[in-house]
């Protein structure tokens, strides 16, 4: 079994010491989706949601979330992120697909930042249209790619 890195010798939660790691270019991409009634997606696409541009606001929320991941997830390192992209794409008849990519040059990876960006973007979509559809579901949030660092490249199958 792989040794978990966020525990010390006594089994207590601890922040990983990355000071001896080399700085490398690191990238992570995560995806997820919000499933909704077809009528709800139609409202979003038509720009008829009273709170404003749902996909635009969710994109900004995802970018902001990536930058604040260390404030939200215990033991995450604060990172000097170089780039964050969050794309929200309507997927008729009943979903919005979300993809976030985070990049930096540093001593630790950005998987948590990409996953946080997708999750907060999805929550923002939910929040902005919940009055029309409380049965929406946030689904399939997962890491699909990471590169850089000692462990190399990961591609989801």
77 known member of a binding site = yes
What is the SS3 assignment for 28?
strand
**Catalytic positions, written as ranges:** 127
CA distance 48 to 20: 52
* Domains located in the chain, CATH noted: 24-155 (3.30.70.640)
pLDDT per position in the chain (157 positions), as tens? 566 676 777 777 777 778 778 889 999 999 999 999 999 999 999 988 888 899 999 999 999 999 999 999 988 999 999 999 999 999 999 999 999 999 999 999 899 999 999 999 999 999 999 999 999 999 999 999 999 988 889 999 8
CA distance 124 to 30: 16
CA distance 95 to 133: 12
Q: What is the pTM of this model?
A: 0.91
pLDDT at 17: 75
76 known member of a binding site = yes
């Amino acid at each position: 079994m792989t040794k978990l890195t966020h525990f010390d010798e006594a089994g207590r939660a601890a922040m990983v010491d990355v000071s001896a790691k080399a700085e490398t270019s690191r990238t992570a991409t995560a995806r997820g989706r919000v499933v909704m009634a077809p009528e709800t997606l139609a409202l979003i696409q038509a720009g008829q949601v009273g709170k404003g541009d749902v996909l635009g606001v969710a994109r900004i929320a995802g970018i902001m979330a990536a930058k604040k991941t260390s404030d939200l997830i215990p033991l995450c390192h604060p990172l000097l992120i170089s780039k964050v992209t969050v794309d929200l794409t309507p997927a008729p008849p009943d979903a919005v697909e979300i993809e976030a990519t985070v990049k930096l040059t540093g001593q630790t990876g950005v998987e948590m930042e990409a996953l946080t960006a997708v999750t907060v973007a999805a929550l923002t979509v939910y929040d902005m249209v919940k009055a029309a559809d409380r049965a929406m579901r946030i689904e399939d949030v997962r890491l699909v790619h990471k590169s850089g660092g000692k462990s190399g490249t990961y591609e989801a199958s």
